[in-house]
A and B are shown apart, each in its own frame.
Chain A
Amino acid sequence: QKEVEQDPGPLSVPEGAIVSLNCTYSNSAFQYFMWYRQYSRKGPELLMYTYSSGNKEDGRFTAQVDKSSKYISLFIRDSQPSDSATYLCASTDGGNTPLVFGKGTRLSVIA
């Protein structure tokens, strides 16, 4: 079992829909949780960053972490065609330990 599991999709939604992307993780020591967006043939760019459990909102994006169930979510409101990309979740226990990424979910928002 990988430490971070993520459904690779693909996921296709109409413009304006609310998108829910999810990951689960197995390492109880994970404290830091990130969501990255990766456009085709580009490097990942950080979208959301949270520490421990709770919610964080930034514009149309909301990240949720539930450490009791080891569940990480990213919600995108009013999705736009420009949101079409692969979304990667990542976690780490902090210190100098490296990030552990999920497989990524490919999202297409259809105009």
Chain B
Amino acid sequence: GAGVSQTPSNKVTEKGKYVELRCDPISGHTALYWYRQSLGQGPEFLIYFQGTGAADDSGLPNDRFFAVRPEGSVSTLKIQRTERGDSAVYLCASSSDPTAYNEQFFGPGTRLTVL
């Protein structure tokens, strides 16, 4: 595909459940970012991958959140024991160069609702 894709587009779950959110970056992009956007707020950084490794995970709010990118392409954000406060849009972005801020492209996001 031409852009960053994210699945599912919407996810409704119950408090305490486990969820996985998937991001397919633009082909060849080595840098991948996860952001969380709560209602009425701007995106907030969660984690950044360069290749397969997490280069910066300082934005993950607690140890219930974890992300992987095992082959340096697709990434999965995993949330354990979901809480109502986790409800937000989870955005993924990718770029060919982490310093090329004019080349960081966002996906449409996954809207997570925790009941």
Q: Which of B11-19, B64-72, B79-87, B103-111 contacts A (4 or more CB under 8 A)?
A: B103-111
* Contact status of A43 and B106, CB under 8 A, knowing A98-B33, A98-B56: yes
Q: For this complex, into which size category does the number of interface residues on chain A fall?
A: 20 to 34
B1: interface (CB < 8 Å): no
A107: interface (CB < 8 Å): no
Complex interface residues of chain B between 42 and 76 (CB less than 8 A to chain A) = 42-45, 48, 50, 55-56, 59
B26: interface (CB < 8 Å): no
Chain B hits for A92, CB < 8 A:
101
Complex interface residues of chain B between 90 and 115 (CB less than 8 A to chain A) = 91, 93, 98-99, 101-102, 104-109, 111
Contact B42 A102 (CB under 8 A): yes
Among residues of B, the one whose C-beta sits closest to the C-beta of A36 is B106
Among residues of B, the one whose C-beta sits closest to the C-beta of A104 is B42
Contact A88 B98 (CB under 8 A): no
Chain A hits for B55, CB < 8 A:
96
Complex interface residues of chain A between 1 and 41 (CB less than 8 A to chain B) = 4, 6, 8, 32, 34, 36, 41
- The residue from B40, B41, B43 contacting A44, defined by CB atoms under 8 A apart: B43
A77: interface (CB < 8 Å): no
* Contact status of A96 and B56, CB under 8 A, knowing A44-B91, A101-B42, A103-B41: yes
- The residue from A42, A101, A103 contacting B40, defined by CB atoms under 8 A apart: A103
Contact A98 B42 (CB under 8 A): no
Cα of A100 to Cα of B106 in the assembled complex, Å: 15
Contact A8 B40 (CB under 8 A): yes
Chain A hits for B21, CB < 8 A:
none
State the A residues within 8 Å of B (CB): 4, 6, 8, 32, 34, 36, 41-46, 49, 88, 90, 92, 94-104
List 29 A-B residue pairs with CB atoms under 8 Å apart, sorted by A's residue number: A6-B42, A41-B108, A41-B109, A43-B91, A43-B93, A43-B106, A43-B108, A43-B109, A44-B43, A44-B91, A44-B106, A45-B106, A46-B104, A88-B42, A92-B101, A94-B99, A96-B50, A96-B55, A96-B99, A97-B56, A98-B48, A98-B56, A99-B45, A99-B101, A102-B42, A103-B40, A104-B40, A104-B41, A104-B42
